[in-house]
Amino acid sequence: MSLSPHTDSQVNKGLLLAIKLGALLILLTPLVVTQSTLFPYVVGKSTYSRALIEIALACWIALALRQPSYRPQRSLVLWLFGIYLVGSFVAALVGVSFQRSFWGDYRRMGGVFDLAHWVALAIMLASVFKQQRDWHWLLNSNLGLSLVVALLGLAQHYRIPVFDSVPWYLRTTAAANFGRVDITFGNATYVGAYMLVNVFLALGFLAGSARPLPQQARRQTGRDRRGRRGRERQAMPPMWPWWAFWTATALLDLWVLTLSGTRGAVVGLVAGLIVAGIGYLVWGRRARMKLLVGTLIAVPILLAVALPLWRDTLLFKNLARSNVTAERFQRLLDQGSKDASITSRFSTTKAGIRAFSRAPIFGWGPENFAVAFDRYANTQETSLQSQLADQAHNKPVEELVTKGIVGFAAYTILLGWMIWVLIRVVRREQEGRPFTILLGAGLIAYVVQDLFLFDTPGTFLQFILLLGWVASAEAPMAAQPTTAKGTRRAVQSPDPGRAKERSILAGGIVSPWMQWAATVAVFLLGVASLYLFVYRPYRAAQLMPVQSASVTEFLGEAQRSFQTFPPLATLGRQILFDTLAENLLRIPKEQRTSILNKLESDAKAALLSEPQNARLRLGLAELYQLSEDPSYLLLARSHVDAAQKLAPQLLGTLTAAIEQEAAEGQYAQALTMTFQYMGKDPARQRALSDLMNRLQRLLGAQIGAEEYLCRWAGKDTLTLEERANIQCDQKPTS
């Protein structure tokens, strides 16, 4: 089957257009919200980007088979990203739950499978977007979208009724109620990370558009320069619309960043500005501008150093009242290490380091931080609010715990090489130097804010754009390596053997039949993947009920969701167990056993997929404890015992152990355990006060009021043995 050269060229153009259109549509990922699914701010973004990446990937493979120039070029950045993916996959294989590591869960959608899609996107971008104009329109399209998101953020902040007409799309969230904009991300911290990168991209385009005159033009007279500028203005299109766009985007994105209340993003912003300033001091060409930049670098440093001194000033107090980010920094200065966010991050970091020491090579497996945290969390260090940590909120700790030294090294080397490539580009290319410096500053800013957060589909896309640009910029340098500073090595005649090898690698498939057969096969695989790995997970998330008319309906709908896409069913099953435990006592006693019998297969499947998940054990234990069925009480005991090994210091584990004693009628033992755990900690006393009161009533009814007053009243610190030795022959005196 042979096509005319014209037809063949048109097919290639169509494939290329489809890839670029797909890349453009992928940029819309932050706007995707699916209220009909579980975790609407995450599931929709992940499945949307996954679908478009797979479609674009199929088109790119077909194009690369037909047109060798669109195959991946030499880029160590892409190789290192691929090595990081392989390391993550190996860590998943040896981790505590391959299913969780590979597929992730609905809450985060960050498994190895999704990472593979991001790697594929980076390779496509670097292979297709080779020219400066390609990246110009792609990155500016991303800036345009960030401007739209910023306007939506301002509408949310000032309560402009933009969203009231589309309740199926956006709803008021908890973050918005606390004065922090989360827009279409569902979490204000993600807004900060997203806006952060785009602020630097906008500044980069602004700085890159201000091109100095060549040295020869500087020596000309004023009249000659004016004449030259007049001719250049006539020859060049007006830049003011672009300047207005970049300026507005930078300012509004920065404004919305501060409205998100994300302190980590502000730290990243300051770090990025300092890096950009240092970059210009080293490689900039204007002496006066260097003086200005040096002054600007000193300003944020001095402000940060002097912040504890001027926090009590009227200016800062007024700023804190009007801006949520300033208010959160003021709270941090007032509370110090007692700040809830800081306490939470310290506790997860400590637990993470202990967990890393137990699995230092490959870690616990991607997306398994919760298992590691549960195992090594200490109730004396961990606040009650942070006793559920499925992410470290610190990228280096996350990598060490989930992927070990191997994954951490791969990630660190990747970042280090990206920075080195950017330095080489800055040294090599003078014309685009300001843009490259600020793009590199954006990369540094993203890495710094990741010290306080983790990657999500909406924010990681920004990192992929930066990585793709760096890989694209690296390819020409690999083809024409530099020798001395700013010079290129003369192109020499290649070795005949290596030239032949390169021609074989670059050659196309000889037979047109093979081209078309491979193309058809790729598209068929793409269609199958879209159905199996995009539509079915999305449909399963849709079927998972949030509420139902009855427990029976809820159970039936949930099980249909599990059957639609089993690899992601474990979190849904955990939600099912917890929901049934909350509502089981409302069900007639004669129906409880029937419902629990229907759950047996789901319980087995959940524990098979994540055998070291203490949360599953605790959910099942609570459910079985409420059944009041002796056979299920035995099962509950087995799950409590397992949870005590998997998560010995969690509040949930200790509560489950207390409830197990109470369910078995051992009220004295249960109340003693409650007193021991509460101690003198006010937070734990508040958390367990209702349970303590209930156990006191049950124990009083069991042993009688007089004996309770004798052995228990006002004696919270005694053991059971000490209570047994109390003589209750006469009424105790007060």
List pLDDT tens digits, range 14-37.
Answer: 999 999 999 999 999 999 999 999
Residues above pLDDT 90, as percent of the chain: 57
The pLDDT tens digits of the residues spanning 277-314 come to: 899 888 887 776 777 777 777 777 777 777 777 777 77
**Are residues 571 and 656 located together in one domain of the fold?**
yes
Assess whether pLDDT exceeds 90 at residue 172.
no
Separation of alpha carbons 457 and 146, rounded Å? 15
Does any domain span residue 474? no
Look at residue 527 in the predicted model and tell me its pLDDT: 95
- Could you give the angle at the alpha carbon of 225 between the alpha carbons of 222 and 227, nearest 5°? 110
Separation of alpha carbons 336 and 326, rounded Å? 15
Q: How confident is the model at residue 717 (pLDDT cuts 50, 70, 90)?
A: confident
**Are residues 563 and 638 located together in one domain of the fold?**
yes
A 10 A CB-CB count for 8 gives 15
Contact 461, 27 (CB under 8 A): yes
**DSSP annotation of 214:** P
* Greatest Cα pair distance in the chain: 115
Q: Taking residues 110-119, report their average pLDDT.
A: 96
Contact 533, 102 (CB under 8 A): no
Cα end-to-end span (Å), the chain: 103
What's the token pair of residue 605?
A: 């499947």
**Are residues 579 and 658 located together in one domain of the fold?**
yes
Domain range spanning residue 640?
545-664
What are the respective helix, strand and coil percentages of the chain, to the nearest 5? Answer: 75, 0, 25
* Burial profile 371-386: b = 16 or more Cβ within 10 angstroms, e = fewer: bbbbbbbebeebeeeb
Q: How confident is the model at residue 488 (pLDDT cuts 50, 70, 90)?
A: very low
Q: Please say whether the dihedral angle defined by the alpha carbons of residues 552, 539, 547 and 373, taken in this order, is positive or negative.
A: positive
Assess whether pLDDT exceeds 90 at residue 418.
yes
Instruction: Using alpha carbons, select from 74, 70, 28 the residue that is nearest to residue 501.
Output: 74
Assess whether pLDDT exceeds 80 at residue 98.
yes
**Are residues 653 and 692 located together in one domain of the fold?**
no
Q: Taking residues 565-591, report their average pLDDT.
A: 91
* Residues pairing with 178 in the sheet: none
Comparing 295 with 123, the larger pLDDT belongs to 123
Does any domain span residue 469? no
Look at residue 661 in the predicted model and tell me its pLDDT: 93
Comparing 318 with 368, the larger pLDDT belongs to 368
Look at residue 660 in the predicted model and tell me its pLDDT: 95
**Are residues 618 and 643 located together in one domain of the fold?**
yes
Look at residue 228 in the predicted model and tell me its pLDDT: 56
Does any domain span residue 38? no
Look at residue 295 in the predicted model and tell me its pLDDT: 73
Give the CA distances from residue 395 to residues 263, 289, 340, 342, 447, in Å, rounded to whole numbers and listed in that order: 16, 35, 19, 15, 8
Q: What is the mean pLDDT of the chain?
A: 86
The pLDDT tens digits of the residues spanning 425-444 come to: 999 877 888 999 999 999 99
Contact 389, 348 (CB under 8 A): yes
Assess whether pLDDT exceeds 90 at residue 126.
yes
**Are residues 573 and 605 located together in one domain of the fold?**
yes
Q: Taking residues 367-377, report their average pLDDT.
A: 93
Instruction: Using alpha carbons, select from 392, 424, 423, 398 the residue that is nearest to residue 412.
Output: 398
Give the CA distances from residue 718 to residues 206, 282, 694, 704, 724, in Å, rounded to whole numbers and listed in that order: 71, 69, 19, 19, 10
Separation of alpha carbons 256 and 286, rounded Å? 32
Tokens 């791969």 belong to residue: 410
- Could you give the angle at the alpha carbon of 203 between the alpha carbons of 199 and 204, nearest 5°? 115
Contact 33, 3 (CB under 8 A): no
Instruction: Using alpha carbons, select from 218, 242, 238, 237 the residue that is nearest to residue 228.
Output: 218
Q: Taking residues 561-584, report their average pLDDT.
A: 94
Look at residue 733 in the predicted model and tell me its pLDDT: 44
Q: Which residues contact 363 (CB under 8 A, 6 or more apart)?
A: 91, 95, 356, 399, 400, 401, 402, 403, 404, 406, 407
Does any domain span residue 588? yes
Look at residue 502 in the predicted model and tell me its pLDDT: 39
Tokens 């302190």 belong to residue: 263
What's the token pair of residue 407?
A: 């994954």
The pLDDT tens digits of the residues spanning 174-208 come to: 556 568 999 999 999 999 999 999 999 999 999 88
Q: Which residues contact 194 (CB under 8 A, 6 or more apart)?
A: 30, 146, 149, 185, 458, 459, 462
**Residue 616: which CATH number?**
1.25.40
Contact 429, 240 (CB under 8 A): no
Least confident of 302-316, 572-586, 644-658: 302-316
Three-state secondary structure call for residue 479: helix
Does any domain span residue 400? no
Does any domain span residue 392? no
**Are residues 695 and 650 located together in one domain of the fold?**
no
**DSSP annotation of 337:** G
What's the token pair of residue 42?
A: 């995450």
Q: How confident is the model at residue 335 (pLDDT cuts 50, 70, 90)?
A: confident
The pLDDT tens digits of the residues spanning 655-671 come to: 999 999 999 999 999 99
Mark which of 640, 664, 688 sits at the end of a domain.
664
Give the total number of structural domains in the chain: 2
CA 361 vs. chain centroid, Å, equals: 23
Look at residue 491 in the predicted model and tell me its pLDDT: 32
Q: Taking residues 206-223, report their average pLDDT.
A: 59
- Could you give the angle at the alpha carbon of 51 between the alpha carbons of 17 and 111, nearest 5°? 130
**Are residues 555 and 659 located together in one domain of the fold?**
yes
* Residues pairing with 488 in the sheet: 482
Separation of alpha carbons 98 and 89, rounded Å? 9
Separation of alpha carbons 408 and 391, rounded Å? 16
Separation of alpha carbons 443 and 468, rounded Å? 12
Look at residue 225 in the predicted model and tell me its pLDDT: 52
Does any domain span residue 539? no
Residues above pLDDT 70, as percent of the chain: 87
Assess whether pLDDT exceeds 80 at residue 7.
no
Contact 646, 607 (CB under 8 A): no
Look at residue 218 in the predicted model and tell me its pLDDT: 47
**Are residues 686 and 659 located together in one domain of the fold?**
no
**Are residues 613 and 687 located together in one domain of the fold?**
no
Look at residue 308 in the predicted model and tell me its pLDDT: 72
Q: Taking residues 140-154, report their average pLDDT.
A: 96
DSSP state letters, 679-729: TT-HHHHHHHHHHHHHHHHHHHHHH-HHHHHHHTTT-TT--HHHHHTS--S
Three-state secondary structure call for residue 184: coil
Mark which of 634, 664, 694 sits at the end of a domain.
664
The pLDDT tens digits of the residues spanning 499-537 come to: 334 333 445 554 677 777 888 899 999 999 999 999 999
**Are residues 594 and 617 located together in one domain of the fold?**
yes
Q: Taking residues 703-731, report their average pLDDT.
A: 84
**Are residues 659 and 706 located together in one domain of the fold?**
no
Look at residue 382 in the predicted model and tell me its pLDDT: 60
Contact 622, 656 (CB under 8 A): yes
Q: Taking residues 679-683, report their average pLDDT.
A: 78
Does any domain span residue 582? yes
Mark which of 664, 695, 716 sits at the end of a domain.
664
Least confident of 139-143, 222-226, 449-453, 467-471: 222-226
